[in-house]
Amino acid sequence: MNRFLKGIGIFLTLIVIGIVSAFAVIALLLRQEEVRVPDLTGQDIITVIEVVGQHGLQLKVDRREPNQAIPRDAVVSQAPPPGTGLKKGRAVHVVVSQGPSELLAPRLIGEQYRKAEILLRQGGLLSFDVARVWSETVERDLVIAQDPPAGTPLEKGGGVSLLVSLGKKGRLYVTPSLVGKKTETAARLVDRMGLQHRIVSLSSSTQQQAGDRVVVRQKPAAGYPLTADTVVELMVGK
């Protein structure tokens, strides 16, 4: 009987030892299967594939996105982060750079200047120069030319130069000398030139010095160049 009990005790002891040993071996194997995730950021995708494979891990590209600082096909970010413990066979997730986002100069020739300005700002082109010139063929405020041409690659924040039309150049006139002339005479002279005039009455003190209805001052001054839309002011006594 004692031998029987002793045999059972030995048997149970061996079972316990076996179970403990099995757990120890499993724990050891699990620890051996875990590796430290390498730092992949900034490395090109070909190198990353090799490094991940050497660590017994897999690679999964979650997405690609533009990046001004990191070259095309290099890793922007990763998960889990470097140094994290990860079992072999698991995947490291990465985001890969598409390189700097490419902007193309829009076609602006023939557009209204205001619309061209909006298109440039919407495209991130915050810097642009504008020059204005007279044109016999292009309507006022339309873009005549641009530099660089449409379709040229540009950096974000870059600039575009615009040449904008002022429209047809109006005929230039030379203001006649009107001071000292009677108001009616001065007004007829201005009208015959195809210009507009406006009579401005001055104070009575000026009237006494200059006499009634005589031009004592004019604006613009005699000899001043002016266009057809300029109004000539005739300043006379009341």
Q: How far apart are CA 163 and CA 226, in angstroms?
A: 25
Residue with more model confidence, 184 or 13: 184
Question: What is the reported pLDDT for 206?
Answer: 45
Question: What is the reported pLDDT for 153?
Answer: 80
pLDDT in tens, 68-84: 788 999 999 999 999 99
Residue with more model confidence, 184 or 3: 184
Residue-range domain boundaries for the chain: 33-100, 103-165, 173-236
3-state secondary structure string across the chain: CHHHHHHHHHHHHHHHHHHHHHHHHHHHHHHHHEEECCCCCCCEHHHHHHHHHHCCCEEEEEEEECCCCCCCCEEEEEECCCCCEEECCCEEEEEEECCCCCEECCCCCCCEHHHHHHHHHHCCCCEEEEEEECCCCCCCCEEEEEECCCCCEECCCCEEEEEEECCCCCCCEECCCCCCCEHHHHHHHHHHCCCEEEEEECCHHHHHHHCCCEEEEEECCCCCEECCCCEEEEEECC
CATH architecture of 103-165: 2-Layer Sandwich (3.30)
Residue 159 has pLDDT above 70, yes or no: yes
Q: What is the mean pLDDT of residues 205-231?
A: 75
Question: What is the reported pLDDT for 97?
Answer: 93
Question: What is the reported pLDDT for 127?
Answer: 63
Residue 15 has pLDDT above 80, yes or no: no
Q: What is the mean pLDDT of residues 224-238?
A: 84
Q: What is the mean pLDDT of the chain?
A: 83
Q: Do domains 33-100 and 103-165 have the same CATH topology?
A: yes
pTM comes to 0.40
Please name the residue that has the structure tokens 């200047």: 113
Question: What is the reported pLDDT for 81?
Answer: 94
Per CATH, the number for 33-100 is: 3.30.10.20
Question: What is the reported pLDDT for 16?
Answer: 60
Domain 173-236's class? alpha beta
Residue 207 has pLDDT above 50, yes or no: no
Residue 94 has pLDDT above 90, yes or no: yes
Q: How far apart are CA 135 and CA 141, in angstroms?
A: 10
Using DSSP bridges, classify how beta strands 91-97 and 159-165 pair: parallel, antiparallel or unpaired: unpaired
Please name the residue that has the structure tokens 């005589």: 214
